[in-house]
Structure 1
Amino acid sequence: MRHSWGETVDIPTGYLNTASIGIPPGRVAEAMRTALERWAQGRTTVAEYDPPVAAALQGYADLIGVPVSSVTIGGSASALIGLVAAAVPDGARVLVADDEFTSVTYPFVVHRPRGVVVDSRPLAELPGAAPGYDWVAVSVTQSTDGAMIDLDGLREATERAGTRVLLDVTQTAGWMPLHLDWADAVVCAGYKWLLSPRGAAWMALRPATAAGIRPLAANWYAGADLQGSMYGLTPELHADARRFDASPAWLSHVGAGVALPWLASLDLEAVRAHAVGLANRLRAGLGLPPGDSPILSLDGFDGASRTLDEAGVSHAVRGGSIRLSCHLYSTEEDVAAALAVLTS
């Protein structure tokens, strides 16, 4: 058991894999256990899940710096991005990063039969190339290696050219302060750095962007009056972004309703300094230059994955490289455990 930012986290030494799965703080796990017990005992009601859904919505809005009225909920990042991709016009040109995570790219690629063009460029080239495209869709922090887009450069280039921007912050929100009300769409899955159960995701939409999107998965939960939206043929959906809501995975939002407001209450500059600082100690211990991301990708360590597993160092392998990631609950001991294997 370790103590982190006023919470407890029950993980062994060597957990460096938040980029795959985030670990819930004690309060999040306890909320989940209580909800599970109530369900198992037949004591739950539909209405009791509304407050955690609302709390997570507000937490997400606070984490990325947007009005809560602009945020909708879904089950995954790709499903939410799919709403945006379905709304781009025939023949639209979309720019993505080379080796971008496919939850960002595939929702656009499947529209090639109607003339949608999807091109990829190296991440660093996206701001310069953006003016030739209708949309740029990119993860702020790349899943493969932790590389980060130049947000200021991308904003300046796209605002000048009128290019729309979709940002995926699944590998960014929760450790880095964000102010993204300028982006047309900002999507995030909660089960990594937001320390929530899988099955909860959010997307913020600028009003002009939302106006051009059809609520393709319209359902009772998107109704302005939930009780009045369960039957009939005349949908009266929310006037704001909630009209795009998917019916929530209740238990997932129970956890998210605790995790996101807690993360939003923290000094995220301090969280970033902690997580990136530990990642840079890993880099320094391996003779690598410092970076600005808590995710690092290591080449030239053939066979190290098995040895790391045997030593109890949780990690991932992406593109044939070892991927390690540090979050707010990571410690010097975690870094030392990894370095003991990788420098031997």
Structure 2
Amino acid sequence: MSNATEGLIKLVGCVAMEGMNPDDNVITVGNSYPTVPLTVERLRKLGVEIRLCEATTEAIIAAIDSRTRLIAIEACNYVSCELFDLERIAEAAHAVGARIIIDVSQVASVLPLALAPFDALVATTYKWLGAESNGAGICWINRERWPDITPENVGWYAVLPIVLPFTGEYQLKPTASRLEAGGLPWRDLNILRDALRHLSPFSQQEITEHIRELGNEIIAELDKLNLGLTILSPRDAQRRGSYISVKMSDEMARMVCARLNERGIYLSFGQGRLRLGPWLHNGSEDVKLAVQILGEALREMNYAPDDGVW
């Protein structure tokens, strides 16, 4: 796909093609990356109930009932980076005959993924896979669970060769390429290939351990600042994905990031938090320097955790 969003749009359309009734429901998480709930919103036009859950495994499972047709969630919560128990959620989904689609953009290549429990997943490739921004996305189909997946829209890449003139008869390709309506972003796929070659010398275990250890170090260094920061991410590395989130208003986080950018430190922000996301090229010295400069900026800006502006 061109991006993860395109994959989600197509997959939600495939669920709709299977038939949905006004008393059916779809489950997603309210503070997901907005693309996830936005792509299922279209199903409201069919009378389907959209259930926006809190960001916990228990809340998602509790929302599932006999009329649930789709669970569309991320591998970890977008705000806190806390991992969901995806296998438990998938088991609950399949117990009532529902599809489960996972967006793994925030953990792809950082954590090992067991794919068998899911019907489909999507991922961007410009984060921890290292490819170019908004160039190519991954859309994976579990052919054992969804062998007859049918796209809403069909193009020439989706079907077996047709002899002209077209008569109205065609056959979908037997593979997931039936979701590829037209030409693929070959330039960006070649960039992705090179990015994956860059990762290939490292085992999944090495990557996971490296990111988890840096996350632990980030939390320890943030604590040392003694500024009263609220860390939203789990302190237990086994329960979190790829980054550490600190509670902060978007406006103040934007100004903090602008100061850090001037000193060569690049963080991201949004959804009420500042985000520190380490990667393979980072080490302990990077963590210490980044948090040190963050602390200096916060003190210069008179950071006060009890001040509502923060």
TM-score, normalized by the shorter chain, greater than 0.5: yes
Q: 1:127 aligns with which of 61, 68, 74?
A: 61
- From the superposition, tell whether residues 232 and 265 of structure 1 become closer, same or farther in structure 2 (CA, over 3 Å): farther
Q: 1:109-154: per-residue Cα shift (whole Å, max 9, x none)?
A: 0221111221111121213333452211101023333122112321
Cα distance in 1 for partners of 2:140, 2:222 equals 39
Equivalent of 2:212 in 246, 262, 276: 276
2:278 to 323, 326, 335: 326
The equivalent residue for 2:150 is: 213
Counterpart position of 2:203 = 267
Find out whether 1:186 has 2:121 as its counterpart. Answer: yes
Counterpart CA distance in 2 for 1:261 and 1:103 is 29
Deviations 1:24-63 (A, max 9, x none): xxxxxxxxxxxxxxxxxxxxxxxxxxxxxxxxxxxxxxxx
* Structure 1 residues 321 and 261, CA gap change in structure 2 (3 angstroms): same
Task: Measure, in 2, the Cα distance between the counterparts of 1:85 and 1:327.
Answer: 31
Distance 1:211 1:147, change over 3 A: same
AA at the equivalent of 1:113: K
Shift of 1:99: 0.8
SS at match of 1:220: coil
Partner secondary structure for residue 146 of structure 2? helix
- Map of 1:9 onto structure 2: none
Of residues 172-181 and 151-160 in structure 1, the stretch that sits farther from structure 2 once superposed is 151-160
Work out the CA distance in 1 between the residues paired with 2:6 and 2:164: 22
Letter of the 1:219 partner, please give it. G
Number of corresponding residues: 268
What is the SS of the residue equivalent to 2:39?
A: helix
Residue identity matched to 2:243: I
- Asked whether the equivalents of residues 84 and 213 of structure 1 are also in contact (C-alpha less than 8 Å), the reply is no
Structure 2 SS opposite 1:166: strand
One of 262, 265, 278 as aligned partner of 1:310:
262
Matching residue of 1:299? 247
1:108-119 correspondence runs (5 A): 108-119=40-51
Task: Determine the structure 2 residue equivalent to 1:103.
Answer: 35
Aligned residues: CA RMSD: 2.5
Read off the aligned partner of 1:148 and give its amino acid letter: L
Q: Which has the higher contact order (CA 8 A, sep 6+)?
A: 1
Matched with 1:336 is 288
Moved more, 153-162 or 274-283: 153-162
Where does the alignment leave 5 or more consecutive residues of structure 1 unmatched? 1-73
Q: State the partner residue of 2:86.
A: 151
Q: 1:235 to 1:298 in 2, by over 3 A?
A: same
Pairing 1:55-204 to 2, within 5 Å after superposition? 74-86=1-13, 87-88=15-16, 89-91=20-22, 92-124=24-56, 125-131=59-65, 133-197=68-132, 198-204=134-140
Match of 1:10 in 2: none
Task: Output the CA distance in 1 between the equivalents of 2:201 and 2:69.
Answer: 36
Question: Which letter does structure 1 place at the counterpart of 2:6?
Answer: A
1:60 corresponds to which residue? none
Unaligned runs of 5+ residues in structure 2 are 224-230, 297-310
For the 8 Å contact 2:10–2:151, the answer to whether it is kept is yes
Deviations 1:84-125 (A, max 9, x none): 222332433111112111221112102211112211111212
- Match for 1:315: what amino acid? L
Would you tell me which structure has more helix in proportion to its own residues?
A: 1
Do the aligned residues in 2 keep the contact of 1:108 with 1:116 (CA within 8 Å)?
no
Contact 1:210-1:241 at 8 Å conserved across structures: no
Secondary structure at 2:244 match in 1: strand
